Amino acid sequence: MATADTQTRRYQEPGAPGNAAVVNPDPRTVTGPAGGTGQGDVQTVDGQLRILTEELKLANADLRSEDRGNFCDHPPEVIKPFRAFWENFLNWARSESLWILGFGTGCGAIELRPLMTSRFDMYQYGIQGRPTPRQSSVFVIGGYASVKTMKRIVRSYEQMQGPKFVLGLGSCTINGGMYWDSYNTVNRLDHYIPVDVYIAGCMPRPEALLAGFVKLKEMIKRGECEGANRYAENFEWYKANQKRIIKNWDMPDYNW
């Protein structure tokens, strides 16, 4: 049945986060505005991105000052899992109750719909759709992510409560796919949000998606899906990457 192979990929460690300074895993990033006039770009101090203030709050530098009070300025935190047995039990529950955020970000979203049908019946795997990120635990990125969509993806991802999992659906999420050289499509999704499972293909069929879910469940049960913690740990790196492409930021640095 599986017409597209499912490929999982461990996350490339971007390096240890620095002290209120941005880790720079790629010499081409972050320092100095990349291309363009720099107007509306990432705020820099001494040529480096400032996400956190000295009180370790979010700087929210791109928000208008009158808006700042309306957004929470707490940065995300790494939350340690419980110990062995208990965490295993919780992970089992998490893996058996995967609620997908109903947000079709690209053309791949069309492959999500058949899962609801009697033929694929995702419910038997404990998977169901959920219309609000607050209650969802899985974010399926449905294919290519343009810069504009990326902004919404980041926002929705941050609004989900951890532990949360991301499925990259389709080649575009892996390396840009057929849009690899577009001025407007990101190439590597994992530079912007942590991804747990990639599903290759253009487009992968629903079966492949289901296979990806099964893979995800296995990984959750093994305790390997700590994307939320990774995101918090390397928060500044992710932010720098995001802000580098999202020019009109106009939102807090972390969307609670």
> Whose Cβ is closer to another protein: residue 211's or residue 249's?
249
Does residue 55 touch another protein according to CB under 8 A? no
∠ CA(72), CA(77), CA(79), 5° rounding?
A: 135
Binding to another protein (CB under 8 A): which residues in 100-119?
102-103, 118
Does residue 182 touch another protein according to CB under 8 A? yes
Around Cβ 229, how many Cβ atoms within 10 Å? 18
Task: Return the DSSP state at 52.
Answer: B
> Whose Cβ is closer to another protein: residue 73's or residue 111's?
73
CA distance 176 to 174: 6
Does residue 27 touch another protein according to CB under 8 A? no
Q: How far is CA 88 from CA 17, 41, 187, 222, 248, in A?
A: 28, 43, 34, 8, 42
Does residue 244 touch another protein according to CB under 8 A? yes
Q: In this structure, are residues 223 and 81 in contact, taking their beta carbons and an 8 Å threshold?
A: yes
Q: How far is the CB of 4 from another protein (least distance, A)?
A: 18
Q: How far is the CB of 99 from another protein (least distance, A)?
A: 8
Of 49-57, 63-71, 107-115, 204-212, the segment contacting another protein by CB under 8 A is 63-71
CA dihedral in degrees (8, 127, 221, 4; nearest 10)? Answer: -20
Of 106-114, 148-156, 198-206, 210-218, the segment contacting another protein by CB under 8 A is 148-156
- Pick one of 57, 155, 205, 221: the residue that binds another protein (CB under 8 A): 155
Does residue 250 touch another protein according to CB under 8 A? yes
